[in-house]
Structure 1
Amino acid sequence: MIGRIRGMLIEKSPGQALVECAGLGYETDIPYTTFFNLPEVGQEVTLHTHFVVREDAQSLFGFASRLDRDLFRLLIKVNGVGPKLAVGILSGLDARQFIRCIEARDANSLVKLPGIGKKTAERLLIEMTDRIGQLEGQFVPLASESGAALDTAVPAAGADDPREEAEAALIALGYKPQEASKAIGKIAEPDMSRETLIRLALKNMIPAG
């Protein structure tokens, strides 16, 4: 099991990071909440990881905090929630926000996440209520403590239209094209980076509890 990697951040994009460690490049699938906390390319980064092996694929999932990683491990034990959906959940809500939803029995915030219907939300509330106790006592680093502030992300080199890239990222996460376009249109301002557009759009679509 690969539990953590530390190395130089070679590439980053919404949903994925490439980290070089001891001469090897590790492609990691990451939730957007982790993406927003990554340092700039060329700097050192530490990711808490979970390695998934299937008959047709091997995937490494990376998270900015141990709590996010451990919550991911609990989520994939829920009936009907696989790694892709768990990453989607943690892209819209960080660990602290998700735990607040469970404690408040807030199904409304959960169903706003792509891929989460009413039945899945109810199942999450039922099954995760007993499990989140396993996460007690863990520290969740704030953005300012992770080495990268949420608003300091730099657009990818060569990006021509941050709005289009932000919309594409939301669609890849599971939102409908109309939803993505509407969400970006509401908050878009001149000179906003792709990362800022995505972060603000997600914040508006899934208000923090």
Structure 2
Amino acid sequence: MIGRLSGLLIEKNPPQIVLDVNGVGYELDVPMSTFYNLPALGEKLSLLTHFAVRDDGHFLYGFQSESERFAFRQLLKVSGIGARTALSVLSGLSVNDLAAAVAQQELGRLIKIPGIGKKTAERLLLELKGKLADVGSGSPGAAPSDTRSDITQALLALGYNEKEATAAVRQLAADLSTSEGIRQALKLLSKS
């Protein structure tokens, strides 16, 4: 099994990237939460991976954090959820938001994700209950990057480009909540 890849980022075509590892180009599908935080082409990148072997081929999925990979693997265990749907869920919600939606049984948050209907959302809430509790709180080292990722995603959703959003998030203090971070980032962006 391939658990981690480190190399140079040579292609970005959402949701797929190509990572050159010592002359071998690995194609990986990544959730948009990881995609938004990728470095520029030609820069070094290290991703955790999930390797899947199916009848129609071998597939690699890349994740920036252990919590994302764990959530992806938990989603794959839900009946009727494949890798594409799991990536869609992680692209539509951060791991913390997914864990909160499951803990609070918020059907509406899941239905807003493209490709997730009412029955699928109900199945997700039922089968993931209690399985993402530890991920939702996050490890001390993972929380700031998840918060920064959430802030960046919110800015992108509001129409700012990736460069503007990333620059604004870099200027924020590390201990901000997501909502306060978004407020402060918007203030910074309105001044520029």
TM-score range, shorter chain: 0.7 to 0.9
1:24 aligns with 2:9: no
Structure 2 residue aligned with 1:142: 145
Post-superposition offset of 1:115? 1.2
Structure 2: runs of 5 or more not aligned:
166-192
Q: 1:127 to 1:195 in 2, by over 3 A?
A: farther
Aligned residues: 159
The percentage of aligned residue pairs carrying the same residue is: 41
Q: CA deviation at 1:196?
A: 7.7
| 2:61 corresponds to | 61
Deviations 1:49-87 (A, max 9, x none): 101101111110001111101110000000110111000
Contact persistence 1:8–1:45 (CA under 8 A):
yes
Residues of 2 paired with 1:194 and 1:20: CA distance? 23
C-alpha separation between the residues in 2 aligned to 1:50 and 1:103?
25
> Is contact 2:15–2:32 with CA below 8 Å preserved after alignment?
yes
Distance (whole Å) between structure 2 residues aligned to residue 102 and residue 17 of structure 1: 30
SS of the residue corresponding to residue 61 of structure 2 reads strand
* Alignment correspondent of 1:83: 83
What TM-score do you get using the length of structure 2 for normalisation?
A: 0.73
Q: Which residue of 1 aligns with 2:70?
A: 70
Aligned counterparts, 1:8-47, within 5 A: 8-47=8-47
Query: Against the structure 1 CA distance between its residues 150 and 11, is the aligned structure 2 distance closer, same or farther, given a 3 Å change threshold?
Result: farther
- Report the AA paired with residue 17 of structure 1: I
Q: Distance in 2 between matches of 1:77 and 1:61?
A: 16
Work out the CA distance in 2 between the residues paired with 1:133 and 1:145. Answer: 20
Cα deviation per residue 1:107-127 (whole Å; 9 max; x = unaligned)?
Answer: 101001111111111111111
RMSD over aligned Cα, in angstroms? 2.8
Whether the 8 Å contact between 1:143 and 1:150 is mirrored in structure 2 is no
What is the rounded CA distance, in whole Å, between the counterparts of 2:147 and 2:103 in structure 1?
Answer: 26
C-alpha separation between the residues in 1 aligned to 2:71 and 2:147?
21
CA distance in 2, matches of 1:124, 1:113: 12
Contact 1:67–1:140 (Cα < 8 Å) also in 2: no
Tell me the TM-score normalised to structure 1 length.
0.68
